[in-house]
Chains A and B, each alone.
Chain A
Amino acid sequence: MSIDMSQFYQVFFEEAGENLATMESLLLELDVEAPDLETLNAIFRAAHSIKGGAGTFGFSDMAEVTHVLETLLDRLRKQELAPTVEMIDAFLQAGDVLKLQLQAHQEGDEYEDPHVAEVCEQLERLARSDEGRAEARASSAHAPQAADMGTCWRLALAPGSLGQGERQALQEALGELGPVQDLGEDATGRCLWCLTTTAGRRAIEEILAFVCEPGQVELDTVELPAREPLAGGQWLEADAGGYGLFTDAPGLQGEASDAAASAPEPGRDALGYGFFEGAPGTEGVSQESDDDSLDTTPDQPRDANLQVEIQESDGYGFFCDAPGSEAALDQEHPGYGFFGGSPGMERVAAVARQDRLDDELGFGFFDSAPGSPESRAQAVAAPGSAVSAQSSPTREPRTAPGNAPRRLATTDSSIRVSVEKVDQLINLVGELVITHAMLADSAAGLDPVVHERIMAGLSSLERNSRDLQEAVMSIRMMPISFVFNRFPRVVRDTAASLGKKVALKLIGEDTELDKGLIERLADPLNHLVRNSIDHGIERPEVRRAAGKPETGEIVLRASHRGGSVVVEVIDDGAGLNRDKILAKAAKSGILVPENPSDKDVWQLIFQPGFSTAERITDISGRGVGMDVVRRNIEDMNGRVEVDSRAGCGTHITIRLPLTLAILDGLSVRMGEEIFILPLTVIQESIQPRAEQFKTVVGKGRVVKINDEYLPLVSLHEVFNSGRSEPDPLDSILVIVETNEGRAAVLVDELVAQHQVVIKSLETNYRKVEGVSGATIMGDGRVALILDVDALVRLSRRGV
């Protein structure tokens, strides 16, 4: 069966990307002083999944790097080595290399960089740094009971596989490693040996490979029931050692259910080993067998019995996806039950553990489908399997019972959908809302008494379409943690390179906003955080002298406020230096009002090319930055505000709309036309009095509001409506906030407040000055959304 692997590449890219991100965040979480074994395991699993995937898809360069990475991780995981800061750095670098490689593969070429070899070397060196001692520790970690004796390996030779002579030779060869004990034959006629040695599995395998096929001999460590909780871990080891029956391939998701489907086929298992290769091709099967597993669940006991028969004849039963397999386990004494990726596993596990207490030789290797997010998706499909699938990230039975319920609450099942599809859905729902508004418009003239049913139908249609709109909108919403999560790394690296001590605090990571916004928020935030570390937070000695704790703090906080999302970057550093900024402004020839308020001064930092840094570093100081930040934020219909106090820190607030697709607006009328003013820019609206209107040099019109003269923008004038302007006293003044200060917009009438779906004019037309987009009103007509910043510019040009 030849499969075009490339169709699965995308899945791999996405998964590898996720795994890399997980790895990085876990690495940063890891406390070097007191490493959490669970975290180390999780990091290892992430690396292992990438390696498996990369290997399967033939991205050997990635597989090589992950292999080296994994080797070191494995030793950390087994507590043979203690993690050091150096190692974490090496891991992070390796993660970066992998990211670059992944990116290169995504673009279809290979990533070439001598840096790769460097990173690998570093990792290898670290992995070997403790060779001798580690070996001893390894063995003691494996078998504390056996102390210096090493590990006790149990070998089971298939009956008749070896002649007497060969057996003798093998026994001698193994004898070089350590004492070999013949345990005689078991019930199925297999020959059991016990080898006690300090050598690793690989050494034994090598010797075995000389004499027999890998399939003919089963090799395992012998442990007492008391050690059984580690069974899961050992399974992992077996996996790494090449006996991975369930290979950690990305395509594996199909395997479990595939296995379930094939369980009733004795032919497949008759070999004695169920090698359910996680071939990518099985993915297709998983789709069908999602249903299968549902269907076959009631039949499972029967399947399990079938399995038992097979297994009795040869001693090995690999039960996959068999909720009923605990029944099988009861009968299975000499055998090994490998339960792979199986729904209902948790239940089985509980029973199995109980069983194994009185079954010394039986080992249950529990492994839920490794690293496959799809297994979670399956969990939804197969009732009762949820618990086991949820436990898949934990993987180890000893933690599973405690963790499973908690994880159940936090981990959701998910599907991948292209943004395009979601956008199309949003568009369609937008149309539905508009269509409803049209219907409501035409029904408005009807007599509500006569047409009661139409009215009732319309109002329920309205409710439903609003709900639908909200639900669809929420698809695009993502927690801001997607952006925030990169900052621990940014802060760590930046602070380290500047020799500063900075702690990062993230608040409100669950705050949701539009995916499009999240992506565009990353760069500005990155800049602000780096700025805070570079300019804000002082060096430790300076901080100490100022009576502040040596470690500076940067807080990233996100929250919902009204219809907008507020993201704040707060540092407790030196704050902005007013005098320095003013001096710099004077030097660069930026006009500054006399006796400027603090707010005016802080705004200066958003001027292009403005930097007060004494020296240029690779982090900041080039003066291209804050202006770009502001422009980026404004492109998203957002605003940036700065507040700062010398010696206490700086507080930067970014206000963003919830989504790019919908806007809260006020519709205003000018002549026949309706325009939308974004609600975020409106401060107030007033009915003007004649004495408020003033002119400057007979031309420039200003309005005096609360002792402030604001430029007047007349929509009629700016848009050359061709009609004479109505009496300003009959009009309404809307005070808006623009990036050049406040302005007053003169409109004929305020109509209503709407939530409007933003449509681009540029799709079929081009950018229109003074207009940021268009929307469709309830009556089906198009209304233009005003861009107040551009309006003020236009108006000035007109004058």
Chain B
Amino acid sequence: MNDERRQGSAVASDSAREYLTFTLGEEEYGIDILRVQEIRGYDTVTKIANSPDFIKGVINMRGIIVPIIDLRLKFHLGQVEYNQFTVVIILNINGRILGVVVDGVSDVIALRGDQIRPAPEFGSVLDTAYIDGLATLDERMIIIVDIEKLMTSQEMGLVDQTQSAAA
């Protein structure tokens, strides 16, 4: 189903692409909606020993073991108590399924390429490699994240080093 949707909108998205926006603290982020498989509530996770703190653990999603990443912790935006409004976005990145915990999902927006402006260089203060650009929508700034690049990066440690090297 996911694939159909992907193909269907790939044709339509010639001019504009759709992004799923979510909030992390005060900031609003957008990711390519084609990477999103589903959105679900937060379940108890099974912790994985000796893993970085932003990896909350793994959950059972209909028989598939899915790792859960807290993007807040990853982006150093402080810790938050999980409640019934905490949302997990299940992503499908090149066939690998993983979930990210975010504060809340806000909207699906369509953006044309010219609406996304490149992010300014922050030098050593901030690595912008995973940021595609910034978009403005009703006075709100949305940070467009290249989620695929982010999730497969070495610092995430989600993928075995050898695999990422091969990829």
Residues of A within 8 A of B (CB): 427, 430-431, 434, 673, 718-721, 759-771, 774, 776, 780-784
Contacts and interface: CB of A to CB of B under 8 A. Distances in A.
Given A764-B96, A780-B60, A719 B49 contact: yes
Contact of A766 (B46, B50, B63, B160): B160
Contact of A782 (B60, B97, B163): B60
Nearest to A780: B60
Interface in B42-95: 44-51, 57-60, 62-67
A111 to B, nearest CB: 30
Nearest to A773: B65
A406 B44 CA distance: 59
Given A764-B97, A766-B159, A768-B51, 10 more contacts: A718-B49, A761-B58, A764-B64, A764-B98, A767-B160, A768-B48, A774-B58, A776-B65, A782-B57, A784-B48
Nearest to A430: B63
A759 B98 CA distance: 15
Given A763-B96, A765-B65, A784 B46 contact: yes
Interface of B: 44-51, 57-60, 62-67, 96-98, 157-160, 163
B58 A431 contact: no
A770 B49 contact: yes
A776 B63 contact: yes
Nearest to A757: B63
Contacts of A762: 160
B49 A781 contact: no
Nearest to A781: B46
Nearest to A671: B47
Contacts of B65: 759-761, 763-765, 774, 776, 782
A718 B105 CA distance: 37
Contacts of B158: 765-766
Question: 9 tightest A-B contacts by CB?
Answer: A719-B49, A782-B46, A765-B67, A431-B63, A766-B160, A776-B60, A764-B97, A774-B65, A764-B96
Nearest to B163: A766
A236 B46 CA distance: 67
Contacts of A776: 60, 63, 65
Contacts of A770: 49-50
Nearest to B57: A782
B63 A720 contact: no
Contact of A783 (B46, B59, B97): B46
Contacts of B157: 766
Contact of A431 (B49, B51, B62, B98): B62
Contacts of B98: 764-765
A771 B46 CA distance: 13
A468 to B, nearest CB: 15
Contacts of B50: 719-720, 768-770
Contacts of B63: 427, 430-431, 434, 759, 776
B96 to A, nearest CB: 5
B116 to A, nearest CB: 29
Contact of B58 (A721, A765, A769): A765
A249 to B, nearest CB: 39
Nearest to A719: B49
A20 B2 CA distance: 44
A755 to B, nearest CB: 16
B152 to A, nearest CB: 11
30 contacts: A427-B63, A431-B62, A673-B46, A718-B49, A719-B50, A720-B49, A720-B50, A721-B49, A759-B64, A759-B65, A760-B65, A761-B58, A761-B65, A763-B65, A764-B65, A764-B67, A764-B96, A765-B65, A765-B98, A766-B157, A766-B163, A767-B160, A768-B50, A768-B51, A770-B50, A774-B46, A776-B60, A776-B65, A781-B60, A784-B46
Contacts of A430: 63
A337 to B, nearest CB: 56
A144 B62 CA distance: 74
Nearest to B159: A766
Contacts of A719: 49-50
Contacts of A765: 48, 58, 65, 67, 98, 158
Contacts of A764: 64-67, 96-98
A673 B60 contact: no
A767 B159 CA distance: 9
Contacts of A774: 46, 58, 65
Contacts of A718: 49
A781 B65 CA distance: 10
Nearest to A783: B46
Contacts of B44: 781
A771 B58 CA distance: 13
A426 to B, nearest CB: 11
Nearest to B157: A766
Nearest to B96: A764
Contacts of A427: 63
Nearest to B59: A782
B163 to A, nearest CB: 8
Contacts of A768: 48-51
Nearest to B62: A431
A781 B157 CA distance: 23
A434 B51 CA distance: 27
A705 B30 CA distance: 59
A673 B47 contact: yes
Contacts of A781: 44, 46, 60
A361 to B, nearest CB: 67
Contacts of B51: 768
A781 B66 CA distance: 11
A150 B132 CA distance: 90
Most buried by B among A427, A760, A766, A780: A766
A770 B51 CA distance: 12
A770 B47 CA distance: 13
A765 B152 CA distance: 10
A765 B46 CA distance: 13
A434 B61 CA distance: 12
A244 B160 CA distance: 59
A784 B62 CA distance: 17
B90 to A, nearest CB: 10
A613 B62 CA distance: 54
A770 B59 CA distance: 19
A251 to B, nearest CB: 35
B154 to A, nearest CB: 11
A768 B67 CA distance: 12
Contacts of A761: 58, 65
Contacts of A782: 45-46, 57-60, 65
Nearest to A722: B47
A160 to B, nearest CB: 67
A375 to B, nearest CB: 40
Contacts of B48: 765, 768, 771, 784
A658 B46 CA distance: 28
A605 to B, nearest CB: 30
Nearest to B97: A764
A119 B97 CA distance: 53
Nearest to B93: A764
Contacts of A760: 65
B61 to A, nearest CB: 9
Nearest to B98: A764
A618 to B, nearest CB: 32
Nearest to B161: A766
A427 B44 CA distance: 23
A721 B158 CA distance: 20
